[in-house]
Amino acid sequence: MPSIQIRNLNQEIYEKLKQRAKKDRRSIQQEAIWIIENSLNHLEKGRSDSWETADSIQKAMREIYGELPDSTPDIREMRNAR
Protein backbone atom coordinates (compact mmCIF):
# COMPACT_ATOMS: atom_id res chain seq x y z
CA MET A 1 0.00 0.00 0.00
CA PRO A 2 1.36 3.49 -0.82
CA SER A 3 2.45 5.80 1.95
CA ILE A 4 3.30 9.47 2.26
CA GLN A 5 5.45 11.47 4.63
CA ILE A 6 4.54 15.02 5.59
CA ARG A 7 7.47 17.22 6.50
CA ASN A 8 7.51 20.64 8.11
CA LEU A 9 3.99 20.30 9.45
CA ASN A 10 3.01 23.33 11.50
CA GLN A 11 3.02 22.47 15.23
CA GLU A 12 -0.45 23.95 15.71
CA ILE A 13 -1.86 21.76 12.93
CA TYR A 14 -0.15 18.70 14.39
CA GLU A 15 -1.67 19.41 17.81
CA LYS A 16 -5.14 19.80 16.30
CA LEU A 17 -4.70 16.52 14.43
CA LYS A 18 -3.51 14.84 17.62
CA GLN A 19 -6.49 16.15 19.62
CA ARG A 20 -8.93 15.13 16.92
CA ALA A 21 -7.40 11.64 16.69
CA LYS A 22 -7.69 11.23 20.45
CA LYS A 23 -11.31 12.38 20.42
CA ASP A 24 -12.14 9.94 17.60
CA ARG A 25 -10.11 7.15 19.22
CA ARG A 26 -7.82 6.75 16.23
CA SER A 27 -4.09 6.96 15.77
CA ILE A 28 -2.73 10.17 14.28
CA GLN A 29 -2.02 8.29 11.06
CA GLN A 30 -5.56 6.85 10.91
CA GLU A 31 -7.02 10.29 11.55
CA ALA A 32 -4.90 11.87 8.81
CA ILE A 33 -5.99 9.16 6.34
CA TRP A 34 -9.64 9.64 7.34
CA ILE A 35 -9.40 13.42 6.84
CA ILE A 36 -7.71 13.09 3.45
CA GLU A 37 -10.18 10.47 2.18
CA ASN A 38 -13.24 12.40 3.31
CA SER A 39 -11.92 15.71 2.00
CA LEU A 40 -11.18 14.27 -1.43
CA ASN A 41 -14.52 12.47 -1.62
CA HIS A 42 -16.32 15.66 -0.62
CA LEU A 43 -14.43 17.71 -3.22
CA GLU A 44 -15.22 15.22 -5.98
CA LYS A 45 -18.88 15.06 -5.02
CA GLY A 46 -19.10 18.85 -4.78
CA ARG A 47 -17.58 19.31 -8.21
CA SER A 48 -19.92 16.88 -9.93
CA ASP A 49 -22.94 18.35 -8.11
CA SER A 50 -21.91 21.86 -9.14
CA TRP A 51 -21.57 20.90 -12.80
CA GLU A 52 -24.87 19.05 -12.74
CA THR A 53 -26.56 22.11 -11.23
CA ALA A 54 -24.97 24.42 -13.81
CA ASP A 55 -26.01 22.11 -16.64
CA SER A 56 -29.60 21.94 -15.41
CA ILE A 57 -29.78 25.74 -15.09
CA GLN A 58 -28.34 26.14 -18.60
CA LYS A 59 -30.89 23.65 -19.97
CA ALA A 60 -33.77 25.48 -18.25
CA MET A 61 -32.57 28.82 -19.62
CA ARG A 62 -32.43 27.39 -23.15
CA GLU A 63 -35.99 26.06 -22.79
CA ILE A 64 -37.25 29.47 -21.65
CA TYR A 65 -35.20 31.85 -23.83
CA GLY A 66 -33.85 29.66 -26.62
CA GLU A 67 -30.19 29.70 -27.61
CA LEU A 68 -28.55 32.86 -26.28
CA PRO A 69 -25.84 34.67 -28.25
CA ASP A 70 -22.21 34.38 -27.17
CA SER A 71 -21.34 37.42 -25.04
CA THR A 72 -17.58 36.85 -25.17
CA PRO A 73 -16.88 39.46 -27.90
CA ASP A 74 -18.92 42.09 -26.03
CA ILE A 75 -17.09 41.40 -22.76
CA ARG A 76 -13.70 41.62 -24.48
CA GLU A 77 -14.68 44.89 -26.13
CA MET A 78 -15.76 46.35 -22.77
CA ARG A 79 -12.49 45.25 -21.14
CA ASN A 80 -10.41 46.75 -23.92
CA ALA A 81 -12.29 50.05 -23.63
CA ARG A 82 -11.08 50.54 -20.06
Q: What is the pLDDT of residue 69?
A: 84
- 46 is a domain residue: yes
Helix, strand, or coil (residue 7): coil
Ordered per-residue pLDDT tens for the chain, 82 residues: 888 899 999 999 999 999 999 999 999 999 999 999 998 887 776 666 778 888 888 899 888 888 888 899 999 999 999 8
CB 66 within 8 A of CB 55: no
**Which pLDDT score, from 0 to 100, does residue 16 have?**
95
Residue 79 lies in a domain: no
Q: How many domains does the chain contain in total?
A: 1
Q: Give the pLDDT score at 5.
A: 92
State which residues form the domain around 50: 11-66
* Residue 76 within a domain: no
CA 16, CA 10: separation in Å to the nearest integer?
A: 10
Radius of gyration (Cα) for the chain, nearest Å? 23
For residues 47 and 41, what is the distance between their CA atoms, to the nearest angstrom?
Answer: 10
The pTM for the full model equals: 0.53
